[in-house]
Structure formats: C-alpha cells, structure tokens
Amino acid sequence: MEKIRPLFIAMTPVRNEAWVLHAFLKTTSTWADFIIIADQMSTDGSRDIYKQYEKVIVIDNNNQDFNEAERQSMLVTKAREIANHRDCILFGLDADEIFSANYINTNDWKSILNSNPGAVFWFKWAELSPNKKNFGDSVYYPWMFHDDGKEPHSNYVRNMHSMRIPYPIQNQQLHYVNDFRILHLAYLNMSRVASKCRFYTYVDYQINHRSVISLSRNYRYQKKLEEYPIDEKYLNYGKRINVLNEVDTTSKKFWFDEYILERNSSDLKKIAKLDIWDNDFIETYNLKDPRNIWIKLLHQYLRKTQKYKSTILVRAIDKVLKIMV
C-alpha cells in the first residue's frame, strides 16, 4: 500500500511584504497544500495580493509591537488546527525565502516526503546578491518539522529570533538538506537590509537592554559570505514564474524605520547612542541627527573596526567601552 503524503503547511509572518509576495506565493504554491500568513496590519497592498492565491489562509496579528514568539505560536496553532490530527509537515518560511526550483527532483525532497513524525530538516540559504547573478552560501537553519503533535516544545519561544518550528530540544531525527537551497531574496534590496538592521538594533535594545556596543557588533551589516554564480537550476521554475521579475527592489522607505520613528519622533535623543544613524535614514526621513560629537566618534569607531571585531585588541577596547557607555 502506497504511503499517503503528509500535508505540507507553510507558516509565514508578514508585515508589509508586497515587494516580494508574488515571488513567494507563486513558488510556494507549487508545493504547499496551505500557506498560513500571520499578517501584522499590513498597509502596502499585501492583503490584496493574498486574495489572488487560493492556498493562502490569513490570520490577523493585531499586536502593534514586535511579538515574534507570539506570532510563531499563532502560526503553529493555526497549522495544527488545519491539519486536525492528520499527518503534516510544517515549514517555517519568511516571505523573502523560497525553495530553489530544483527541489522536486532531489533525494533530499524524497527524504522529506518519507520522513517520520519528529523529524527536523535543516536548510541553507542561497543569499542572492543585488546583482542577481551571484549568491552566498550560509550555515544551516532548522525550518521544517514533521509534526508530532506534542506540546509543549518550548524551545521555539523566544522574544527575538525565535525558532520557527516547535521541535523538541532532545531530537535525534536531524536531517541536513544539501540538494537544494532556500533562496533568500532580502539582499536584492540593500536599503531594506540596512533598515531591518536598524529595526533589530532598536528592538533588541528595548526588549533585552543590551549594550550599544554589542548591538552594533551584532547588527551592523558586513557582507562576508563567499559568492558563487547562481546555478540556473535554482531559478528555473518554468515559463510562468520568473522569480527575479516578481521582486520590487525600488523602495526606499520601510516599516522598520517607521516603527522606530513612531515611538521616538518626539525625542530622538533617547536613542541617539544606538548605531542606527545612517545617512540614508537621516536624509530619507528628513531627520536632525541627535548625536553629539562623542557618540558620532563612537559610531565611527564601531564601523571602522567592524571587520576586526573578533581580534583580541578590538574585543579588549569594546569591553572597556561597554563599561564607559
């Protein structure tokens, strides 16, 4: 008797992702049975785009603030409700992440199809470069879980950078996918990447009260992945889907920056010491730089030494600065 294929359920948080949604929904619809979108009050036309794809199920995330653990819990709960105790596999993907087109004919895809409840699959990003010709290979991330229906798997609930899937900490069914990649489209718009880094810097500071030195070291973007030419098989979805043409990289304003300004516009000096004051940010929103000369010098030091942050000398200086600032 032939084994019945599990349900494939994609779980995706969205807030103003119209720039990339068509690429995500067209490609994900080729393999997913359901695509659950936890929409956090999008205002950019994202909700109109959902209506064009029959596999999409929208749930409302009405929290005004950053709430990563809550939204992941919402997605998993809805996925299990849809599955209704049927065998299912949960895929945690952001809207700027899609399967490379060659997935369907790979041995790793067959392994996913034939996996057992409790199995966790780890994937690598292929981080597409702005020139749309190269990609950088990343480390592995756990983004797929053959649901075992057990609760709680509490290791996926964190206030930032939560696990996307609810797999148990003591899991022995770990699989590493090498035959295909998750295409990461974020770096096609570097202005958006910079904006998101500013956002994470601010949110991490507000939630976890980390030092401004550590935050800059964590979120100040520096490209470091070795690049390779994009393999044509990664993008060959057929004539109906041209992934790169479905992505809008022209935007210069992003909800990440607006989130920061909505909460601090009356007194930017409160967040002056955060290393978020890029020229593009200041000019795009016509801001007056709130930093004094000492903070500017600190930020200049952090940026100049970013590529040396792991050296003994820079780490020693950073340690002193954490005490002083």
Could you tell me the CATH number of the domain that includes residue 171? 3.90.550.10
Residue 246 within any structural domain of the chain: no
Q: How many residues does the chain have?
A: 325
Co-location of 167 and 180 in the same domain: yes
Indicate the residue among 141, 160, 186 that finishes a domain: 186
Residue from 10, 6, 30 nearest 78 by CA: 10
Co-location of 165 and 121 in the same domain: yes
Residue 60 structure tokens: 């409302």
Cα 108 from Cα 180, distance rounded (Å)? 8
Phi, psi of 301 (to 5 degrees): -60, -45
Residue 83 structure tokens: 């599955």
Confidence of residue 228 (pLDDT cuts 50, 70, 90): confident
Co-location of 59 and 144 in the same domain: yes
Residue 312 structure tokens: 């003994």
Indicate the residue among 134, 164, 186 that finishes a domain: 186
Question: What residue ranges in 158-291 does DSSP mark as E strands?
Answer: 174-176, 182-184, 227-229
Cα 131 from Cα 125, distance rounded (Å)? 17
Radius of gyration of the chain (CA): 21
Instruction: Tell me if residue 142 falls in helix, strand or coil.
Output: strand
Co-location of 128 and 209 in the same domain: no
Residue 231 within any structural domain of the chain: no
pLDDT of 168 strictly over 80: no
Residue 247 within any structural domain of the chain: no
Residue 231: its pLDDT value, please?
86
Residue 2: its pLDDT value, please?
58
Contact in structure between 91 and 10 (CB atoms under 8 Å): yes
Indicate the residue among 186, 209, 231 that finishes a domain: 186
Cα 252 from Cα 260, distance rounded (Å)? 16
Co-location of 146 and 74 in the same domain: yes
Residue 263 structure tokens: 């909460």
pLDDT of 83 strictly over 80: yes
Co-location of 44 and 174 in the same domain: yes
Hey, which residues does 91 pair with through a beta bridge?
A: 10, 144
For the segment 124-140, the average pLDDT, to the nearest whole number, is: 91
CA angle 26, 29, 31 (to 5 degrees): 130
Residue 282: its pLDDT value, please?
97
Co-location of 127 and 27 in the same domain: yes
More confident position, 53 or 251: 53
Cα 15 from Cα 140, distance rounded (Å)? 25
- Spatial CB neighbours of 83, under 8 Å, sequence gap ≥ 6: 7, 9, 147
Co-location of 143 and 197 in the same domain: no
pTM of the model: 0.92
Co-location of 95 and 121 in the same domain: yes
For the segment 222-227, the average pLDDT, to the nearest whole number, is: 67
Q: What is the amino acid identity at position 128?
A: L
Co-location of 161 and 194 in the same domain: no
Domain that holds residue 93: 7-186
Hey, which residues does 35 pair with through a beta bridge?
A: 10, 56
Q: What is the pLDDT of residues 269-318, one digit of tens each?
A: 999 999 999 999 999 999 999 999 999 999 999 999 999 999 999 999 99
Q: What is the pLDDT of residues 21-46, one digit of tens each?
A: 999 999 999 999 999 999 999 999 99
> Total domain count for the chain?
2
For the segment 72-89, the average pLDDT, to the nearest whole number, is: 94
**Lowest-pLDDT range, 20-24, 169-173, 183-187?**
169-173
Residue 319 structure tokens: 């340690």
